Structure 1
Amino acid sequence: MTGAFDDLLAANEKYAKNFSISSLTGRAARTLAVVTCMDSRIDPLGLLGLKAGDAKILRNAGARVTDDVLRTLVLAVYLLNVDRVLVMPHTDCRMAKSTDEDVHRLLLDDFGMDTRSLEFHTVPDQDAALRRDLVRIRTYPYLPERLNVGGAVYDVHSGKLMPVEV
């Protein structure tokens, strides 16, 4: 692994010299899992006042509660000390500005790739999608009823969280 990753390998060399968190266990010290978008403007630990080891961070395009997120939450709850989940999409999200059909058409037109077998889980109505995802977690049969589930939209322009009630 060289060339395109040289900058990352060099940065890791510096990081490893002062590595100080080897005593962390992998359990969520603050009993929190955060489902958020892969958008690089989001620093989930920083914006929530957390540090390494405090929370499980699950990221995907649009901060959607997919089957894989549910699978991961089951593991986080039962094996990794999670008893609360924050679903946190954000403003100015590309997934909230398109439909799956738009994305399929764009990828076909611009790259010649037929992606119709994929679901991109776009969110033309972000509030409705967030509420649906919160209900999906709360009613998932493999997650306990006692699990605390909340939602908030992160504003990428102000850094503020806007809580959403179901």
Structure 2
Amino acid sequence: MTDAFDDVLTANADYVRRFHLGGLQPVAARGLALVTCMDSRIEPLEMLGLKPGDAKILRNAGARVTDDTLRTLVLAVYLLGVDRVMVLPHTRCKMASVSGDAEVHDIIAARHGVDTRSLEFHTDKDQLGALRHDLERIRHHPLLPKNLAVAGAVYDVDTGTVTPVTE
């Protein structure tokens, strides 16, 4: 490895000395799957009163329910003890602040000279509309149980507040 990772590998050595999660079971002890954004301002366990082992955390840009998210939820429900799903995007998200995927492609091309048009970023300025659409994708997925509890909320990165979204 290169020096670019020395800081995290050194931190891991400290973590190993304090490690206490050995023997934790792979199931979601509280039956929760949380779909949230990869944003580093989000601390999924602490903000929802969870501890390691309580939930399956799925993170991606924008907290979107993509095909891969659905695949992972199917596995989580049938193999890992998940019986409820919360989708939790956040305020001031870059994926909800642009006019669409084309703008992101243009920004990356202009700044870095990389053509990303083969990728779909799932941007949407209508964050609540996108959330409601994603909740429906989960509710109507043919491989997920009809009685699966599904909810949406928005996390405020400035206050820490999680606000449920009504349908």
- What TM-score does the superposition give when structure 1 sets the normalisation length? 0.98
Q: Does 1:85 align with 2:81?
A: no
Q: Please give the alpha-carbon distance, in whole angstroms, between the structure 2 residues aligned to 1:133 and 1:36.
A: 12
Specify the alignment match of 1:141 in structure 2.
Answer: 142
**Deviations, residues 17-37 of structure 1 (Å, cap 9, x unaligned):** 121111111100010000000
List 4+ stretches of structure 1 deviating above 4 A.
none
What amino acid does structure 2 have at the position aligned with 1:37? Answer: C
Specify the alignment match of 2:46 in structure 1.
Answer: 46
Q: Please give the alpha-carbon distance, in whole angstroms, between the structure 2 residues aligned to 1:155 and 1:20.
A: 31
Q: Does 1:110 align with 2:111?
A: yes
Q: Please give the alpha-carbon distance, in whole angstroms, between the structure 2 residues aligned to 1:103 and 1:77.
A: 33
What amino acid does structure 1 have at the position aligned with 2:2? Answer: T
Specify the alignment match of 2:153 in structure 1.
Answer: 152
Equivalent positions of 1:1-166 (< 5 A) are: 1-98=1-98, 99-166=100-167
Query: What's the offset of the Cα at 1:117?
Result: 1.3
**Deviations, residues 82-124 of structure 1 (Å, cap 9, x unaligned):** 0000000000000001110100111112211111111000021
Query: What's the offset of the Cα at 1:77?
Result: 0.2
Query: What's the offset of the Cα at 1:146?
Result: 1.1
Q: Please give the alpha-carbon distance, in whole angstroms, between the structure 2 residues aligned to 1:164 and 1:83.
A: 19
**Deviations, residues 27-62 of structure 1 (Å, cap 9, x unaligned):** 000100000000000000000000100000000000
Q: Secondary structure at the match of 1:127?
A: helix
What amino acid does structure 2 have at the position aligned with 1:5? Answer: F
| Higher deviation after alignment, 34-43 or 112-121 | 112-121
What amino acid does structure 2 have at the position aligned with 1:165? Answer: T
What amino acid does structure 2 have at the position aligned with 1:106? Answer: I
User: Can you give the 5+ residue segments of structure 2 that lack an aligned partner in the other structure?
Assistant: none
Q: Please give the alpha-carbon distance, in whole angstroms, between the structure 1 residues aligned to 2:9 and 2:109.
A: 35
Query: What's the offset of the Cα at 1:136?
Result: 0.4
What amino acid does structure 1 have at the position aligned with 2:59? Answer: R
| Higher deviation after alignment, 28-37 or 16-25 | 16-25
Q: Secondary structure at the match of 1:118?
A: coil
Q: Please give the alpha-carbon distance, in whole angstroms, between the structure 1 residues aligned to 2:143 and 2:57.
A: 20
| Higher deviation after alignment, 10-19 or 79-88 | 10-19
Q: Please give the alpha-carbon distance, in whole angstroms, between the structure 1 residues aligned to 2:124 and 2:43.
A: 21
